Structures are given as structure tokens and as C-alpha cells.
Amino acid sequence: MTVDFKEFIQLAYEDSLDLKSTKKAFMQIMNGEISEIQISSFISLLQKSGVKSHHVIAALEVMRKKMLSINAPLNTMDTCGTGGDGKNSLNISTATAFVLAASGIPIAKHGNRALTSKCGSADVLKALNINVDMETSKLEDCLRNIGICFMFAPNHHPAMKHVAQVRQLLGFRTIFNMLGPLLNPANVRNQIVGVYSKEVFDIYKDVFEKEDKNICLIAGHDGNDEISLSGINLIFTNKNGIMQFDPEMLDCPKMIDDEIKGSDAIFNADRIIEIFKGKKDTFYNTVCANATFGILINQSEDFNEKNIVKAFKEVQLIIESGEPLRIIEQLSKFTNL
């Protein structure tokens, strides 16, 4: 028997939505049975009352059943974060993905167009002349031949079409920002996941503790959803537990905020090319810092100062080699065949 969706809206309003009710609500939403007005009310109230780990777990169970997956090597990694930090920064996780692919780590990057920011990963990749809407049947070949592929979220999560318009019109982060990194279509075991708050960090930690994955979970300084050079970052891994990362150990120049600010897709794409061609600024150092933790996750290394500094220097050499630029060129060519 289908429950009147107004009951779920009321439960969200009362902050009494349990796992079973959340699952039923998301099943109705993802089946296309609910109006956009009701979806908007439900996810807004859920956000206002506070998303809990059981809400995320319930939604994931529904959406994973509807996801269109691809096969990937066992050590494949994703760098997709939640977004929604409101910083309008450059595309750090996308640039980081190219560096890690250049290091030889298979990267199955999951992402979308901008929904709550100026420029999403799909937008910046398109500006780099990469076809983000390539047929899903070619993605496994792309990953095997180039070492990286981009999985455009709408192509793998067709049920998300029922909430896409609502998300765009609302313009603020919702539970769907939390779900994206947890719904990688390649079912990757290795992930660097940046989140925008300590509250979301705690939710993700609960989720990841129940899954057999090799995770580097990051709550960046001052609400950044990636490693920030501006202060102390909170990190969780299955191996190291919770720890704090102070970027001062990397001995980078003082952070300049304007050097990390993004704009439209063309601007952000040009900035990625700039750092891969040798420009060393705050964006460059931030990408190096984030890629550092990808290297460590891939090697299953302890997150101590010695290993972090060593991996940071390795990342700098990878960029200096020009390999990230070659990866971009190869990906562009392959996706436009």
C-alpha cells in the first residue's frame, strides 16, 4: 500500500523520519510518483531538521538499486566530493583526478554539472574539450586505455531526473549533495571524499564504517570540501582513524584567497591548464595537497608527516613531468572519437 507522501513531509518537519520511512519516501520520489512541490518541501524540511546517517543509508539503498554501473579495476579511485561548500572555488577535485591518473592510479571520476555552484566537474571538463556525455558502453574502454574516465551522473542515475529541476531551483545543498560521492557507478573501493561540514563528516564516517572501502574523508578548514591550506583539516581513514592535518608541514607559501577562486567553466579550465604548465600558486599547492592523500590511500600508507611530505614531493614531480596535461589531451581525443 502506497503511503500518502504528505505523511513523509510531516515526519521530516517533525524530525522523526526513521530509516524505514526514509526508504519508502525515496522509493516514491525515485519512481517519479511525487510532484516537484512535494519533493521540494520534503528535502527542504529534511535539510532544515538535519540529515542523519540513517537518512543517507536509506536513500543509498534505494538509489544503488537504480544505478547503472560499470566495471573497473580493483584499485580504481574517485575524488568526488559533496560540493555545496558555497566557496565557488576552482575545480580542485577534478584537477586532482588528473594528477592521480598521471601517477598511474585508475580514476573513475563521478560528477555532474553545477547545481549549487558556478562550475561543476562536467562543466569544466566540457571546457577542456572532453565529452562528458560519452556513451556509458565506452567508459570501461576509456578507463582501460587512458587511465581515467568521467561518469556523468545523469547517465548513471536516470531516476535523478525526478529531482534535478528541484535541486537547481532550490540552489542550496540538500541530502543529494551527500549522496553523490557515495553513488560511484564503478563501485570504487578507494576514495578521497571532501565534505563541507563536521556534521556531514560524522554522517559519512558512520556510513563508511559499515562499508569495506579504503577512504580518505576530509572536512577542510573553514567549511571547505577538500584539503585547505588555510588551516587545520579534519581527516578520517579506516586505517588511521580520525586525525588532523596541518598544511604548514608542507611548507607552502602563504595562501592567497583570490588564487583559489573560480568563475565560469572556461576560466576554471584555463586555470587547470596553467598549473599543469608550470604556474605555481595557491591553486597549484592545493591540488598538490589533495593529490598527496590520493597517493597515500592508493599505497595504503600511514598518514604521518614523513609519508605526507614524501607524497607531496612525488605529486610535484608528476605535474612537472607534464603527464597530467597529456592525460587531458588523451581523454579529449578518446571521448570525441
Q: What is the pLDDT of residue 116?
A: 61
Q: How confident is the model at residue 239 (pLDDT cuts 50, 70, 90)?
A: confident
Q: What is the pLDDT of residue 289?
A: 98
pLDDT, one tens digit per residue, over 314-330 is 999 999 999 999 999 99
Instruction: Give me 336's grid cell.
Output: 570525441
Residue-averaged pLDDT of the chain: 94
Condensed to tens digits (0 to 9), the pLDDT of residues 213-231 reads 999 999 999 999 999 999 9
pLDDT above 80 (res 84): no
**By the 8 A CB rule, do 200 and 190 touch?**
no
E-assigned strand segments in 24-173? 77-78, 107-111, 148-152
pLDDT at 168: 85
What does the alpha-carbon distance between residue 104 and residue 98 come to, in Å, rounded to a whole number? 10
| Displacement of CA 212 from its chain's centroid (Å) | 18
Question: Do 285 and 229 meet the contact criterion of CB atoms below 8 Å apart?
Answer: yes
The set of residues, in sequence order, having a beta carbon less than 8 Å from that of 42 and lying 6+ positions away, is: 5, 8, 9, 12, 25, 29, 34
CA distances from residue 250 to 286, 311, 320 in whole angstroms, order as listed: 11, 10, 17
Q: How confident is the model at residue 2 (pLDDT cuts 50, 70, 90)?
A: low
Q: What is the reported pLDDT for 115?
A: 67
The residues, any chain, with a CB within 8 Å of residue 285's CB and separated by 6 or more, are 229, 250, 252, 253, 255
pLDDT tens figures, 87-134: 889 999 999 999 999 999 999 999 988 766 779 999 999 999 999 999
Strand partners, 217: 193, 236
Rounded to an integer, the average pLDDT of 165-177 is 88
Confidence bin at 255 (pLDDT 50/70/90): very high
pLDDT tens digits along 10-54: 999 999 999 999 999 999 999 999 999 999 999 999 999 999 999
Say how far apart CA 276 and CA 218 lie, in whole Å.
24
Is the pLDDT confidence value at 1 over 80?
A: no
**What is the C-alpha to C-alpha distance for residues 165 and 285, in angstroms, rounded to an integer?**
36
Is residue 5 a contact partner of residue 28, using CB atoms and an 8 Å limit? yes
